[in-house]
Structure 1
Amino acid sequence: MDSLTQIVLGAAVGEAVLGRKIGNRAMLYGAIAGTIPDFDVLASHVTDTVSALEIHRGFTHSIFFSVVFAPFFAWLVTRYDSHKSIKDWSWLFFWAFITHPILDAHTTWGTQLFWPFDLRLAFKTIFVIDPLYTLPFLMCVILAMLQHRSSKKRRFYNRLGLILSTTYLGLTLVFKGMAYTQFEKALKEQGIAYRELETKPSALNTILWCANVETENAYLIGYYSFFDSQPITFVSYSKNHDALGELKHSEKIQRMITISKGWYTISKKEGQLYFNDLRFGLLSIQPDAKNFVFSYLINVTNDGKVNLIEAPKGRREGKKLMKDLWQRIKGN
């Protein structure tokens, strides 16, 4: 999830663990702890694109990290804040650390909660930014923060925030199941033979859902809103995997295929090949859209070395997508 959401979650967890004892300092340390796992994004500044993608939401988003590093950060805090024991601080850091990847596991990217095992959990029930999850939660945390640490209202507001956010997260599983059923029904009615079907929410909401459908030679992308009155339509994107040629056997390409879980297409623009990660969809919901959210230029150096460079995204595309999404959410 986005940084603000993780800060809010961390603050609420910190309050639940030590709020009655140290007041707003528990929220402060919880908020800080809630952002620490995302420091793995710094890897993009010191390594190549593929390695950075492998590192993201890996080690720092694991149970191992939560267990091992909670006492370490607790020890650091006691160097200048000795009001509570290492045990108390360890408990706060552990819960702030572990709830971070559990929430992230519900997004499309997922987390390697069981690192070092190569198992990424990705339930794909919530977008990385979802106001319906974050804003009520934020309001409750702010209301709790304004109360005295021994106040019953403080505990009530904090618990309410945790209950509302967790309930909404649970409902997204139900919404996903409802959307999946509609996509499955549409594919059957249209006589489309497919190998695999995956669903995920579109940006900023859980009303409009997107489906990735794998067929023999192509991927289909379709959208379904709970307000739809017309049949679901699917747009086909050729896999074009053969365009890679011998490049498919290179280490970097093989690692990218693993990262994308095999959901990728290869496109060609201005004589250059691009690796498109299909899991995150497109920056447009128009039928002729070809601007994938995550597209990587396949660059081959003179000595045959393969590098992948993420293609930049324009602000105009993002603004246009928000406008189109709002219209599409209201139904087809």
Structure 2
Amino acid sequence: MDTITHTLFGVGIYQSVNKEKMNKKQKYALLITSIGASQIPDIDVISQLWDTTGQYQMWHRGITHSIFLAPLWALFFYIINRLVFKTKGIQSYFIALLAVFIHNTSDVFNAWGTGYLEPFSSVRLTFGTVPIVDLVIWFIFLLTFIGSKLYPKVKTHVLFRIGWVLIVLHIAIQSIQGSILYKNYKTDYQDLALSASFVPWHFTVIGKNDNTIDIINDSLLTKADFVERITSSNEADLNLLFAENPAAATLYKWSPFVVVVDDNNRIGIYDPRFYRNGDSFLGEYWDK
């Protein structure tokens, strides 16, 4: 998910806690823990500063997003609460653990995927059933916030807990529909991937057979819209590309499958899950 959504998750966790018996310092510590732990897995972006071998694609959403690292992140915020805010009890640990769990797990549902099982598996888990920027989630949080202002007699933490139920329901409905579409196309292609649209319940289906990749917009409620058939230059020798642009080798390993481009001007690869208007924003090339 994007940074705004992860921040909203943190605020949502904070607002979902009953703070009637908390003092100002405890509330501030809870806010820092909720938002900080909701963002901490993305600390891997700083790896760009020392990446000289094109490995960033594997490092981002890699080990820092592992479910096995979540307890360590939670422990980190627990220690901060004890040393900095002088808070007692173990609540901060479980709040941080929940926040990291939500961050890592929500990222699995969009097309980018995560190293959810690292270091025991390098496979990038990705369902592609929820967009990276999910406006429905934003809208639910907005309605919950407005509701807390319009109905002050209803406890804020109760309203936000209802909001969380709606978010989980939304993700479940999206994912069930995506799963059905995936099964419908599975027999037609050797390789298949989904990428959720910004429009709820709509998906882009990316199917590959040998050197052809089909891009199809579809949903369970509308007729399939065949967008384009792309031809991949699978016979091209990618060794020179990988030598000249190491990030291309990383992308080749990271993506479920790629489109190979080889013409008079350049050779390269791109991930067709992010194909829009004749190009993909996730590609690596080398000019001949």
Q: What TM-score do the two structures reach when normalised by structure 1?
A: 0.74
1:113 to 108, 112, 116: 116
Query: Match of 1:247?
Result: 240
Shift in alpha-carbon separation, 1:196–1:255, aligned structure 2, 3 A: same
- Over the aligned positions, Cα root-mean-square deviation in angstroms equals 3.0
Q: 2:88 aligns with which of 67, 74, 85?
A: 85
> How far apart, CA to CA, are the structure 2 residues paired with 1:137 and 1:107?
19
Looking at structure 1, the residues matched to 236 and 154 of structure 2 have their Cα atoms a distance apart, in angstroms, of 64
Partner of 1:5: 5
2:38 and 2:136 mapped to 1: Cα distance?
19
Describe the shift of the 1:49–1:200 C-alpha distance in structure 2 as closer, same or farther (beyond 3 A): farther
C-alpha distance after superposition, 1:239-265 (max 9, x if no partner): 21222354377593543321012x111
With the length of structure 2 as denominator, give the TM-score of the two structures.
0.84
- The Cα offsets for residues 25-65 of structure 1, whole Å up to 9 and x where unpaired, read as 33443122211111211222321473111011112111232
Distance (Å, rounded) in 1 between the aligned partners of 2:44 and 2:18 = 27
Question: Which residues in structure 2 correspond to 1:128-139 (within 5 Å)?
Answer: 128-139=132-143
Matched with 1:50 is 54
The separation in 2 between residues aligned to 1:270 and 1:19, in whole angstroms, is: 65
- What is the 5 A alignment of 1:123-272? 123-141=127-145, 153-180=155-182, 183=185, 194-202=189-197, 204-225=198-219, 228-229=222-223, 232-233=225-226, 235-247=228-240, 252=246, 253-261=248-256, 263-268=257-262, 271-272=265-266
> What SS class does the counterpart of residue 54 from structure 1 fall into?
helix
Tell me the percent identity.
21
C-alpha displacement of 1:76? 1.9
- Change over 3 Å in CA distance of 1:34–1:50 after alignment to 2: same
Equivalent residue number for residue 75 of structure 2: 71
Query: Number of residues paired by the alignment?
Result: 281
CA–CA distance in structure 2, aligned partners of residues 276 and 242 of structure 1: 15
Counterpart secondary structure, 1:107: coil
Instruction: Give structure 2 stretches of 5+ with no counterpart.
Output: none
> Does residue 292 of structure 1 match 2:280?
yes
Match of 2:276 in 1: 283
SS state at 1:233 partner: strand
Q: SS at 2:109's partner residue?
A: coil
CA contact (8 A) 1:2 1:129 kept: yes
Unaligned runs of 5+ in 1: 301-332
Distance 1:88 1:147 in 2: 28
Residues 85, 40 of structure 1: CA spacing in aligned structure 2 closer, same or farther, 3 A cutoff?
A: same
